[in-house]
Amino acid sequence: MSPAEAIGWGCLGGIIPDVLRILPKRYGDVPAYLSKPFFWISLIILGALGGVMTYALVPNGITNALAVGYSAPSILSKLLGIKEAEEIEATRGPLRAEKGSLIEEIRTWWSL
């Protein structure tokens, strides 16, 4: 597998956590965050992070490239995320609609 292919698979692996968050909601209402540019920019960043880590670690197959791409942003989002949405709403009430600081918005988005 060429380095370009590995990076592509790593980028795909990087967006898998967000795709897995969206899939359970496919039969309900469309999540509000899908219409926000912040979500799409963050998705691109996480995909790029998966590609960078795949380039750095040089996996030897598609499965390994997907795993490396998946794990890098997944670990980062778990480290930087606050809690699950249900836990946030149980402790603080509904998620705030008004904008907070950028860091708070990033941490809240990654915890969903």
- The pLDDT tens digits of the residues spanning 72-96 come to 877 776 666 545 555 555 555 554 5
Q: Using alpha carbons, list the distances in angstroms from residue 9 to 41, 57, 75, 98.
A: 19, 13, 18, 37
More confident residue, 82 or 12: 12
- The pLDDT tens digits of the residues spanning 22-68 come to 887 778 787 777 888 888 888 898 899 999 999 998 899 999 999 99
How far apart, in whole angstroms, are the C-alpha atoms of residue 87 and residue 33?
18
pLDDT of 80 reads 64
- Stretch 11-21: mean pLDDT, rounded? 88
Domain boundaries, the chain: 3-80
pLDDT of 64 reads 93
pLDDT of 97 reads 47
pLDDT of 86 reads 55
pLDDT of 65 reads 93
Q: In which residue are the tokens 């750095």 written?
A: 56
pLDDT of 82 reads 47
User: In whole angstroms, what separates CA 104 from the centre of its chain?
Assistant: 16
How far apart, in whole angstroms, are the C-alpha atoms of residue 69 and residue 37?
22
